[in-house]
Amino acid sequence: MSIERKVPSRFAALGARPPLFWIKLVAILAAATYLAWLSFINAAANITWQQNPDTALYYVPDHPLALSRKADELFAQKQDPATLAKVEAMAKQSLRGGALNPVAIRLLGYVADARGDTKKARHLMLLSQKVSRRDLGTQLWLIEDAVARDDKRAALNHYDIAMRATPSSFPILFPTLTGALGDPDVRIALAPIVRQAPVWLPAYLGDAINGIENPANLADVLVKAGRLPDEENYRNISNALLGQLAAKNKFPAFRQYYLSLKGGNKAAFQSASLTRATVNLAHPAAGWQAIENVGVGGVFSQPDAGGRFSLAAFAGSGQRGEVMRKLLFLEPGSYRFQAQYAALDAVSDAEIRWDMQCITPTGNVGKWFVDTPIRRGNFAQMQDFTIDNDCRAQLLILQAAGGSNQLGAEFTLRSVDVTPN
């Protein structure tokens, strides 16, 4: 008795397929495998070309970006004739795979420059810039080329492009730009760019203020540019610059820059009175600056109906120090200083001292000082003085000494004035 095996219908259907079916199936599977492999190696090349162009070129020998990246590395290592020829060939191969490659065009410019053809190099660099303004190498070359031609406006234009497009360029370009501000022509050419308040400007100003040898040069650029935007970060920058100008005795530049700012008022420099023109200013370096230390200091009151302030001052037992100071730009002539006080208690060896100093390029020179003991009730001080032609900027300083009283001394400065005689 024979037993017949029945093949399940689905397998029987496969067995019935003609040979051509299997050939097509194998071809489809092979093509799919090949396409998957191509997808893999291209993905690998696209991932690795920037950090490891050799790996990318291993997978895809004609990968345009990997070729230009590798050529860039080779050029950075040396520029002998053989290397230049190799860089040129790789750059051209890269462009055949992707014509809009600014790095490859820039490399051809490098090669032309290394071979002494500056005109061709400049043409290629400008073409690279047209393709993309984001290639830092292109902008750096164009900066150097403009400097070599003494074209300051063009050089600064390329500085602007580089810093707008590539924040990573800041550590390279900021110090160089700041160092160039000693040239008056650079300051003139930079002012229109600064006037546009480009995105890099706050970072640059912060860096320049801290690193510049002569902050008057930076102030000159900002005065020529016009007012900065009325924003908190720019107000902070202006205050920092005013502080640097004062610290380095650049008082003509201090005055000029302050008066260019929103709210800048000549009264802040001509008056010692405690008014809204001199107290709690948006730019404190131009007004009265109260010191608030643990041992000695002072705090301004709220203004009265007439807009005048008073100052509550204190000095601890055995303490002596500065309570407040004011920068002045009094014209040469005769003046009278007057101050009025009030105190609840007298302290025999506690005192108030006013000190006027002339600010000179070589340092401060004492002009006069006057002392008065702290007395109970209301009391006053007066001093006549003269400002000479060589004393164009002055510093008026209030100091206090707490004496030997265990509780120190307190008083209120009700008013202070400097008026022409």
- Between helix 232-247 and helix 215-225 the angle, nearest 10°, is 140
Q: What per-residue confidence (pLDDT) applies to 415? A: 96
pTM (whole model) above 0.85: no
Distance CA 167, CA 177 (A): 15
Helices (H) and strands (E) in the chain, counts: 16, 10
Residues contacting residue 245 through CB under 8 Å, at least 6 positions apart: 215, 216, 219, 251, 253, 254, 257
Amino acid residing at 201:
L
Task: Classify domain 45-268 by CATH architecture.
Answer: Alpha Horseshoe (1.25)
Q: What per-residue confidence (pLDDT) applies to 280? A: 83
Q: What per-residue confidence (pLDDT) applies to 24? A: 63
Residues contacting residue 87 through CB under 8 Å, at least 6 positions apart: 71, 74, 75, 107, 110, 111
Burial of 133 (0-12, 13-18, 19+ CB in 10 A): middle
Closest CA to 255 of 230, 244, 245, 247: 245
β-pairing, 296-300 with 289-290? unpaired
Q: What per-residue confidence (pLDDT) applies to 28? A: 64
Please report, for the chain, the start and end positions of each structural domain, with discontinuous segments joined by +. 45-268, 270-420
Q: What per-residue confidence (pLDDT) applies to 249? A: 87
Closest CA to 81 of 114, 104, 108: 114
CATH placement of domain 270-420: 2.60.120.200
Tokens of 331: 């014209």
Rounded to the nearest angstrom, the gap between the alpha carbon of residue 280 and the centroid of all alpha carbons in its chain is: 26
Helix (H) / strand (E) element for 371: namely strand 363-374
Q: What per-residue confidence (pLDDT) applies to 35? A: 46
β-pairing, 296-300 with 333-343? unpaired
- Edge-to-edge order in the sheet of strand 296-300: 296-300, 311-315, 409-420, 333-343, 377-387
Q: What per-residue confidence (pLDDT) applies to 293? A: 83
What is the block-wise mean pLDDT of the chain (421 residues), using blocks of 10 residues? 53 60 59 49 48 61 78 88 94 86 94 96 96 95 97 97 96 96 97 97 96 96 93 94 91 93 87 92 90 90 94 94 95 96 90 94 86 94 93 94 90 96 89
Closest CA to 321 of 352, 357, 284, 348: 352
Please tell me the number of Cα atoms within 13 Å of 225 on its side-chain side: 24
Q: Which residues pair with 324 in a beta bridge?
A: 290, 398
Q: What per-residue confidence (pLDDT) applies to 193? A: 97
Distance CA 45, CA 38 (A): 10
